[in-house]
Amino acid sequence: MTAAQVAAYRMATKKKSAKLFRCPSCGMLVRPEDEDFPFCSDRCRKIDLGKWASGVYKISSPVLDPEVLEDLGNLGSERSGGSSES
């Protein structure tokens, strides 16, 4: 292979490896360089935010980090008027 053929082959394989992304709200194709990436527009970004705010989307896995659980426990006792300190 000549150097030009090698360069052409490398460019062709790079084009094949380019990923196509779709807007999570409407499914339209988007590019990583787009201003609203990963969404196609500000409208779709706000629709997605609204779904998070209204509870349509949820993170369902429980918190398993012991430090986070301890901190959450301390917050609960502070709110109820109790103190964890002696």
Tell me if 40 sits within 8 A of 30, measured CB to CB. Answer: yes
User: Would you say residue 28 has pLDDT above 70?
Assistant: yes
Residues contacting residue 22 through CB under 8 Å, at least 6 positions apart? 28, 29, 30
- In this structure, is residue 83 part of a structural domain? no
Does residue 49 lie within any of the structural domains? yes
* Tens of pLDDT, residues 55-86: 898 887 776 778 877 877 776 666 555 554 54
Domain count along the chain = 1
Give the global pTM: 0.49
Does residue 70 contact residue 77 with C-beta atoms inside 8 Å? no
The CATH number that applies at residue 49 is: 3.30.50.10
In a domain, 28, yes or no: yes
Q: Is residue 46 part of a domain?
A: yes
